[in-house]
Structure 1
Amino acid sequence: MPPEVASVSTPSSDPLHQNLQAWFGFSQFRPGQEPVIRALTEGRSAAAIFPTGSGKSLCYQMAALQLPHLTLVVSPLLALMQDQLDYLHSRNIPAAAIDSGRSADDIRQTMQDAREGRLKILMVSVERLKNERFRQFLGNVNLSLLVIDEAHCISEWGHNFRPDYLKLPAYAREFAIPQVLLLTATATPKVISDMQSRFGIEDRDVICTGFYRNNLDLSVLSIMPEERDRELIQWLAPRRYQSSVVYVTQQKTAETLANTLRDNGINAVAYHAGMNSEERDAIQRSFMSGQHRCIVATIAFGMGIDKSDIRSVVHYDLPKSVENYSQEIGRAGRDGQPSQCLVLGNRDNIHVLENFVYGDTPSLDSIRLVLQAVREAGNHWEILLTPLSNTTDIRQLPLKTLLVYLELEGIIKPLYSYFAEYRLQYRLQPAELEQQFSGERQQFVRALLRSVRMARTWGTLDIDDFCRRYQGADRSRVIRALDYFQEQGWIVLESKQMTEVYGVLNNHFILNDLAARLHQLFVQKEQAEIQRIHDMIALFESEECLSHQLAEWFGDHNAPLHCGHCSACRGTSVAFPRRPLHPAPEQINIPALLAPLEERLGHPANTETRVRFLCGLPTPLLGKNRARSLPGWAALEQWPYQKVQAQVLGQFG
């Protein structure tokens, strides 16, 4: 049985319930599902704010089958798309996904099926909407509904803000998509209001079902780090034949802890983003099938995991926020059966969490470099994200956020994106391909193919260069031609090096003033993220009912004041232990720790680079210089960022 709905025997003569029975094999909706689906089928947009595992997916699946045209689902994770696709296919519902893991033939067939009306649901990542070939495809397809999964990513006040999500309202207008459905499990009232306003959703169509889960037992244990392994082994031992997830912050912890658990008779396996996709997929499948009972994972694991019988979720390290905690424990007990959630709490990991937040804030100098590039660009600014990130030493996510801030400041405006390079491989010889056309079209195709620079089996095409040389050619015509060749099976086509093109609306800004203002926006965001961590600590250390506080955080005022199944209700509220800094400040020789880095760089590093090296926070500059391999890397990762900064300034001046 899928998690979306629960089966009951009560029949209904209502057509919506009849369709539910016919299409999905169930006769009753879960709370909130029916009003969301009715809003969509009556032509309105809606938002479904349901806890993890409460059936958000059924809302769009059911609506899509009743709407006349294609439903486009934007999802942040490939695993989420694949799980939902597998379920839809099991119900014989025509659905597909386009992602980087699929072959050119698969993608071509999916687009053809969509154009010819054979698909009802198409799933993509938000980044796919920047692809010019995909955008041309969408412009020729009738769309009924845009579904945005993990919709809290739209809001800067959400716990997982993604700059590309800010463009979704504009995409909905551009492709004339008449309705939108927003789905999330972790939105506070402020985030819900932000989401709602961006898409003009009426109050009556924002459906929140509450966040209280009466089958989850929530425990917080105050414990020193060196005691966690022993405590975890004792806690998991009687549960070794049940499915468990243990969350950690860092990849190396996932590996070492999984080894420790296996050595103590617990069938555990590590999972983190440092593994290749094939390895992660294999581990996920083994966990889903029950081959491995315990998975020790970073937060790279979990979103979209449709396993209903996870009996335990343990936070070996503290989660990043209240929202993350809610999302992660929400993976336990999705079948409604009693499940345990345990936090092994101490303050040692807090500095690591905070330092990652500080590490994402671009320096003032780095922001100036971006603004200088805008000023020198003229009316059009073309960027490749990776080179710009390396040049300015800003990690890619905050760099994307900076570009959004520049849009909001009226400095730049996104025009379009294109691939800087197209590669093709012939399945039909060029001379034969030319003969498929006549007249001016044949001349165009001949000139196009002769512009392809062939290597052994693959050729590359510089579209802009071709358009400059061939009268009457433009990018859209060339891309339509290449797509047609691929659809006919005459070529295999690949594209790479996504180039973003912005119009520069104002390059007369006062550079230092604007840089300072933008830097302050990042500082404010940084402070908000730090506050999230402290709000989470306050939740765990509170003497009030954990379940009640968690529900209140998300605006659910209907949870009981005393749930009876949390550590606070059992009278075991905690205060996380503190201990002195290690190593002690008087033992630190900052110049000696930094000497290997500065020798490799060939010059003195600036303060931000020095602090991030000592805290073990990766940046493009440190990555390019393989700083992880140097002595001194992460030597002070257990220190607060600001204390490391003070030590650096104190010893270097």
Structure 2
Amino acid sequence: MDEARALLRDVWGYDGFRGVQEDVIRRLVVDGENALCLMPTGGGKSLCFQVPALLLDGLTLVVSPLIALMKDQRDALTARGVAAASLDSSLSVEESTAVRQQIREKKLKILYVAPERLNNEMFVSMISEQEIALLAVDESHCVSEWGPSFRAEYLKVSRFAKEIAAQRVLCLTATATPSVVKDICDPENGFNIELEHGVFSTGAFRPNLSLLIKPCLNFKSKVALLVPSLKGRGDGAAIVYVTIQKQADELATELTETHKLDARSYHAGMSADKRKEVQEWFISGNGIVVATIAFGMGIDKPNIRVVVHFQIPKTLENYSQEIGRAGRDGLPSTCVMLPSSSDMPILESFARANTPSKQSLHVWLKSVSAAPVDKDGTISANHYEQSNTFDIGRNTLSLLFTILELQCGLLRATTPFYQEYNVKPLAAAPMAFENIGRHDTKESRALRSGWKTGKTWTSIDVIAISEASGIDRTELVRQISRWEYSGWCEVKVAGVRSRYRVLEDLPTAEEDIQQLAEQLFKQLHDREEADVARLRSVAEFVKGGTCYAHELANYFGDDKSVPGGKCGNCSFCKTGLAIPFEPKYDAPFSDKQVRWILAVCGVRDDPRMLAGLAFGVTSPRITALGLSKHDVFGCCATADFGKLLERFEAECAECGFKNKAVLAPPKEVKTTGAAAKAGPAKSGSTAKTPAKRAAPAKTGGGAAKKAKKA
């Protein structure tokens, strides 16, 4: 360990390790064993793999979902003379080629990649030829199916660790409950980490943070409490978290124009350049960012004095991670939550949005089973198109394919490819494009016969042309590449298609497909109920009755870090009083509301979609029908979702699950206030009669959402 301390001093300029850093490094370097490090955001997790990377022979591979964080760490390491690189979607072709060359020549010590990179056959083949001394898995709580931040691609990382024979594995996370820790450490589906000796934690308690919870009635009362907190923060920055993108913009404007505070908004609906500009502004000063949860990951700013949750957070994991960005310099900082009973419906709708109907799953499975198998033994799917066609969210589609891969053993994800290639003349040699028109190969002839010429770009759907000509897709792509390499054209790609190698015969019998659809639905429904339960546990946390810091630490299995079970700084410790907080959910709904929904929307083949429409759960099909912007959307937002579903199942069964002709909402129907939730427009209103049209396919739709999440 002397060499590790010398590296810490010479490369990073620190005199000694903090917390459990030295214990983790000893476990990896001296013992040569796998480890899990639980450390708050900003606690120094990265040193736990960066120092071993320089001590061990071979390459350290870091899997992280955060491209911005990868780039920041890579740049910081290279500035210190460490041979580090990343392979991510932001690199040019030339930059990617240079990194691969460094890997082959064994010139790198640390390589950062996203989990999706592990589906790339060329990358896996290249890495398999390297000596992987250490595999570091950042945000490893994403591995757990029962964690709130679960990501389907993370399920494949433990398999990847075994396949590349990684000599040791380090998992890193800031938030993990005991059940999630168990999932991460599991020897079968996790990373085979010894629970007793391989798990290291600094504890969940941050004594410099004051957890203040102040229930509010409405937006106005929230702002009245928010402004003094922001104005009194002293010499430091602040983050205000909101639920939806529109509110981030509105609240930032309110703080700036009305209260003369230096505030800017940040959310995923902004351009990448604008987000980068806001982030750099925040890091370099002491301003206020009003943001969705898209903001904060990987930001190493020590003097954030105030973190505010303008609405109730959707999980205690989210809450813990977000307040963890405050006071990293160890100085007193304040974490304020401003919950109101009306916060719950939209958060619960987000949890409900990930589960499609059984019918959607059944039709999707039939399409997967019927997909044509290419000569290389693979099938392909455009997740965006499938989302629209089958009314299944894209994140859910990724999970479904992962289940077919890991649990059912039917498929194996492999290198994705692009469906659409676009070509245009080179600016430096525009006449060279004419060579394509004269190029006399069967591939060139087929491509020309099926392309679509535009004003600037000529688009080529290689899937459609392959099916029409009988020429393998890969041969068509090679021909386009030859045009590009010959200097005849410029090429850009679009329409990424995920590709899956078929390992076992896919089910084709109706009974088998139905059985698998039932299994998939149950798994998704169980996840949905777990998400809703986590949200409601936050409401119980808000009600309190004990020290908030102790309650939060206890949730993460750390019941001893808060001395005497009282922090002395939170709302409960200061008042000794529980909070009278009564969230709105499971309220009754009326027959009038049900009749209104059925009158507006003629869908009868999917009761879950109708229940989602009533509850305010958007989906591709709801958006395609124009219903996400109709007053009927969310008119039963505080109802019991299960009872709504039962009611619409009965209504659809009475119609034989056959769609009605009225499948589009009346135009120009908008009401305000309570009337918007009460029912349909009364006779004599200006609402127009909805136009009749043929019933759509069983599923379908666009992809936009009414209330965009981060």
TM-score, structure 2 length as denominator?
0.78
Residues 222, 344 of structure 1: 8 Å contact kept = yes
Judged with a 3 Å threshold, the aligned counterparts in structure 2 of structure 1 residues 463 and 516 are, in CA distance, closer, same or farther, namely closer
Give the structure 2 partner of residue 619 of structure 1.
619
Superposed CA deviations along residues 144-187 of structure 1, whole A, max 9, x for unmatched, are 32211100100112121111110112222333332221110111
Residues 220, 574 of structure 1: 8 Å contact kept = no
Distance 2:577 2:352 in 1: 30
Paired residue for 1:518, among 509, 517, 520?
520
Residues 411, 506 of structure 1: 8 Å contact kept = no
Deviation at 1:617, TM superposition (A): 2.5
Deviation at 1:609, TM superposition (A): 2.2
Judged with a 3 Å threshold, the aligned counterparts in structure 2 of structure 1 residues 378 and 462 are, in CA distance, closer, same or farther, namely closer
1:345 is paired with a residue whose SS is coil
Letter in 1 for 2:304: I
Distance 2:587 2:545 in 1: 33
Q: Does 1:268 align with 2:263?
A: yes
Residues 627, 633 of structure 2: 8 Å contact kept = yes
Give the structure 2 partner of residue 574 of structure 1.
578
Paired residue for 2:327, among 317, 329, 333?
333
Matches within 5 A, 1:197-596: 197=186, 198-203=190-195, 204-226=197-219, 227-239=221-233, 242-262=236-256, 263-290=258-285, 293-377=287-371, 381-410=379-408, 412-414=410-412, 416-421=414-419, 423=421, 497-503=496-502, 504-505=504-505, 507=507, 510-559=512-561, 560=563, 561-578=565-582, 585=589, 589-592=593-596
Judged with a 3 Å threshold, the aligned counterparts in structure 2 of structure 1 residues 417 and 546 are, in CA distance, closer, same or farther, namely same
Residues 267, 293 of structure 1: 8 Å contact kept = yes
Give the structure 1 partner of residue 699 of structure 2.
none
Distance 1:615 1:375 in 2: 33
Give the structure 1 partner of residue 685 of structure 2.
none
Distance 1:209 1:551 in 2: 11
Deviation at 1:315, TM superposition (A): 0.9
Distance 1:146 1:23 in 2: 21
Letter in 2 for 1:563: C
Distance 2:223 2:570 in 1: 22
Residues 418, 493 of structure 2: 8 Å contact kept = no
Distance 2:148 2:493 in 1: 35
Superposed CA deviations along residues 27-46 of structure 1, whole A, max 9, x for unmatched, are 20011111222222243322
Residues 326, 333 of structure 2: 8 Å contact kept = yes
Superposed CA deviations along residues 589-627 of structure 1, whole A, max 9, x for unmatched, are 4444565555xxxx6573222332343332122334454
2:499 is paired with a residue whose SS is strand
Residues 84, 109 of structure 2: 8 Å contact kept = yes
2:112 is paired with a residue whose SS is strand
Deviation at 1:520, TM superposition (A): 1.9
Distance 1:185 1:32 in 2: 13
Residues 222, 574 of structure 1: 8 Å contact kept = no
| 572-581 or 61-70, which deviates more | 572-581
Judged with a 3 Å threshold, the aligned counterparts in structure 2 of structure 1 residues 97 and 87 are, in CA distance, closer, same or farther, namely same
Distance 2:544 2:263 in 1: 32
Matches within 5 A, 1:26-45: 26-42=14-30, 43-45=32-34
Letter in 2 for 1:520: K
Distance 2:474 2:394 in 1: 27
Judged with a 3 Å threshold, the aligned counterparts in structure 2 of structure 1 residues 118 and 424 are, in CA distance, closer, same or farther, namely farther
Distance 2:69 2:215 in 1: 34
Distance 2:407 2:115 in 1: 23
1:256 is paired with a residue whose SS is helix
Judged with a 3 Å threshold, the aligned counterparts in structure 2 of structure 1 residues 31 and 577 are, in CA distance, closer, same or farther, namely closer
| 27-36 or 366-375, which deviates more | 366-375
Letter in 2 for 1:317: Q
Distance 1:72 1:452 in 2: 40
Deviation at 1:50, TM superposition (A): 1.0
Residues 315, 538 of structure 2: 8 Å contact kept = yes
| 581-590 or 349-358, which deviates more | 581-590
Letter in 2 for 1:65: L
Judged with a 3 Å threshold, the aligned counterparts in structure 2 of structure 1 residues 478 and 651 are, in CA distance, closer, same or farther, namely closer
Give the structure 2 partner of residue 441 of structure 1.
none
Residues 258, 269 of structure 1: 8 Å contact kept = yes
Deviation at 1:295, TM superposition (A): 0.9
Deviation at 1:419, TM superposition (A): 0.5
Distance 1:184 1:515 in 2: 33
Give the structure 1 partner of residue 668 of structure 2.
none
Any stretches of 5+ residues in structure 2 without a counterpart? 433-440, 655-710
Deviation at 1:140, TM superposition (A): 4.8
| 526-535 or 91-100, which deviates more | 91-100
RMSD: 3.9
1:370 is paired with a residue whose SS is helix
2:528 is paired with a residue whose SS is helix
Deviation at 1:212, TM superposition (A): 1.1
Give the structure 2 partner of residue 7 of structure 1.
none
Give the structure 2 partner of residue 443 of structure 1.
none
1:569 is paired with a residue whose SS is helix
Distance 1:578 1:470 in 2: 64
Paired residue for 2:84, among 75, 91, 95?
95
Letter in 1 for 2:403: Y
Distance 2:203 2:584 in 1: 41
Deviation at 1:366, TM superposition (A): 1.2
TM-score, structure 1 length as denominator?
0.84
Letter in 2 for 1:397: N
Give the structure 2 partner of residue 15 of structure 1.
3
Deviation at 1:406, TM superposition (A): 3.1
Give the structure 2 partner of residue 9 of structure 1.
none
Give the structure 2 partner of residue 610 of structure 1.
610
Distance 2:303 2:160 in 1: 38
Residues 611, 645 of structure 1: 8 Å contact kept = yes
Residues 4, 52 of structure 2: 8 Å contact kept = no
Any stretches of 5+ residues in structure 1 without a counterpart? 1-12, 433-445
Deviation at 1:241, TM superposition (A): 5.3
Give the structure 1 partner of residue 690 of structure 2.
none
Distance 1:41 1:468 in 2: 58
Letter in 2 for 1:309: N
Superposed CA deviations along residues 403-431 of structure 1, whole A, max 9, x for unmatched, are 333345526231523304485979999xx
| 535-544 or 379-388, which deviates more | 379-388
Superposed CA deviations along residues 548-573 of structure 1, whole A, max 9, x for unmatched, are 12112212233121111111111243
Give the structure 1 partner of residue 37 of structure 2.
48
Distance 1:253 1:575 in 2: 26
Distance 2:391 2:622 in 1: 9
Superposed CA deviations along residues 187-231 of structure 1, whole A, max 9, x for unmatched, are 111111111121112342221221111111111112212421211
Judged with a 3 Å threshold, the aligned counterparts in structure 2 of structure 1 residues 345 and 392 are, in CA distance, closer, same or farther, namely same
Residues 359, 606 of structure 2: 8 Å contact kept = no
Give the structure 2 partner of residue 145 of structure 1.
134
Distance 2:205 2:112 in 1: 30
Residues 539, 583 of structure 2: 8 Å contact kept = no
| 107-116 or 138-147, which deviates more | 138-147
